Amino acid sequence: MKYKLPLEYKLDFKIVLTTVLYYLSARLGYFLAFHDTTTLPAWPPSGIAFALIILLGRSSWPGITIGAMIANLMAFWNNQALPQHTLIAVSSIIAAGQTLETLVGNFLVKEWIKDDYPFKSAKNTFRFLFVALLMSLIGAFVGTMGLFVNGVINSSDLIKSCFTWWVGNVVGILLFTPFILTVAARRKLIIHTNQVWEAGIFIASILGIYSLIRLGYFNSTLIDSLPYLLIPFLLWLAFRFSLLAAISGALISSLISIYFTIHSSGPFIQSSASDTMLLLQIFIGVISISTIVLSATVTERAAAQNELKLFNVNLENMVQERTKALNDEIDTRKVAEDKLIKTNMELSKRNTELDNFVYSVSHDLRAPIASVLGLINLAKKDKDLTMKNTYLEKINNSALQQDNFIREILDQSRNSRLEIKREEILFQPLIDETFNQLKFATATGGEVERIINVNQTGSFYSDRWRLKVILNNIISNSIRYRNGRDPVIKINVEITERKAHVEIEDNGRGIPFEHLDKVCQMFYRATDDGAGSGLGLYIVKEAMDKLHGSINIKSEEGKGTIVKLEIPELL
């Protein structure tokens, strides 16, 4: 279980943490000082305090002041030449200068760089270097003036002391601030398989350089130049690995160089301590700045490459999405065009049917009426009762013909506008009902033999009214156009796989071959005897289309006709 610090103690914790870390880093700085002198090649508290105030916020500045005060008191405490009030005054001024130094650096990072981790781009990295130079100058100037005012140093040492102090602060910031910020930003040290050999070569090279220096195998001039062989390897780290790896290499190399130099060993030893420290500081500054700048440049380039890859991926996705949208639009337009073509074809068909309908209705409705009127006039003039009965029979046939025509028109109208109604169908009763109605509706004499075979073991669902219209028209044609000799109508019904297969066969007159492909057209008559309107099979075809079924007519003139229907079940 994680312990969460109460809100009211967070500021106290920040100040205490900053104080402790500042003091410990100061002890490290004194540990790296030259023997028997106060000369410091690097001042770690400057870098650590700068990193802490960036990470913890401006409110942690009291910790810097307290830590600096304690560290300076401990440094000057053994100096017997300084009275206590001078010691306190000097420590206070130096602590104030170091606090001001850190606050100015934090202000410039927040307001100018505007990024707590400025090592993502070369521009911000150079700005960070400028901030380090400026803030270090402030701390060095205030501290040096504190020493001068209190008589610790004289005017001849003022500039030299300020410069040495300034360089030490800069080196401390360059070494420790990037390292802490990189670790705090959780920048992972990722080494790929192909980089393991590179890391091994780097370590071996460093050890080799160290061995050459320690053994003193080469002459002094060559040994003095050996440390600068580190620069290509550190640049290699910066280029091939992350900033954490590069700055860690620079930090370790710098600490090792300082350690051996303060122990009077290595290529940086000069005739005086100040010259030795200056040469060491130049070396540390060069490798730190080069490593940080190159790492930032590589990071910026990698970020640009990633953004470019992401842009290419997004662009490709956009192209794919746009292509898909265009394809969808094309498909939509194609569907709309197909629908428009079908609509135009249907409209053209309906216009043709309407023209035929108007013509046929005007003809087929008036013809029976004209016939009836003519027969009535003849009946009035003729006194023979036998002839009058003949006239009445003809009038009745004309009325039946007109009634059938009107009924077919009504059936066609209902088939066009009524929705499909799903009902359970029993074919045997439906066929029997159709025959019973036609027995009285057709003006033909004599019985027709019917052979009905229905194989229906389960339920079947379809539109009952449309099935009745279909059967009525086909069976009525078989009755109307029968032969005089023993008329027979055979009906076979088979229900299989959600389909009804209906076959209606008669031995009637048949349909001439040249008329077979046209008999389902509106008002088309295959015979000129005037018995039908030409709507019957057209209505059958339209009703079958509504039921998504199919019709197939086979006929041979003088032998009969076979009509096969395939009707899918309505789901």
Q: Residue 2: its pLDDT value, please?
A: 44
SS3 state at 10: helix
Domains delineated in the chain? 1-186 (1.10.1760), 419-568 (3.30.565.10)
What one-letter code names the amino acid at 128? F
The pLDDT score that the predictor gives to residue 559 is 87
Question: Which one-letter amino acid corresponds to residue 205?
Answer: S
State how far the Cα of 163 lies from the Cα of 167, in Å rounded to an integer. 6
- Predicted local distance difference test score (pLDDT) of residue 5: 45
Residues in the chain: 571
**Tokens in use for 465?**
């009214």
Q: Would you call 563 helix, strand, or coil by DSSP?
A: strand
Task: Please report which helix (H) or strand (E) contains residue 159, including its range.
Answer: helix 158-184
Containing 362, the helix (H) or strand (E) segment is helix 273-381
User: In the chain, what's the furthest Cα-to-Cα distance?
Assistant: 169
Measured between alpha carbons, how far is 26 from 63 in angstroms, rounded to an integer?
13
pLDDT for the residue 218 = 54
Task: With CA atoms as reference, report the closest residue to 534 among 542, 521, 545, 524.
Answer: 524
Which tokens sit at 179?
């390292």
CA distances from 59 to 15, 67, 81, 329 (A): 8, 15, 36, 60
What is the signed CA dihedral for 411, 416, 422, 424, rounded to 10 degrees? Answer: 20
Point out which residues pair with 450 in neighbouring strands.
489
DSSP for 386-410, please give it. Answer: HHHHHHHHHHHHHHHHHHHHHHHHH
pLDDT block averages, 10 residues each, the chain of length 571: 50 88 87 68 89 90 90 70 79 91 93 88 89 92 89 84 88 90 70 60 68 58 65 74 78 81 76 79 84 83 83 86 86 87 79 62 60 70 72 71 65 67 89 80 65 90 87 86 82 90 90 81 64 72 87 88 91 83
Distance between CA atoms of residues 160 and 124, nearest Å: 31
Three-state DSSP at 555 gives strand
468, 472, 392, 391: which is closest to 425 by C-alpha?
Answer: 468
Question: 254 to each of 213, 240, 250, 550, how far by Cα in Å?
Answer: 15, 20, 6, 94
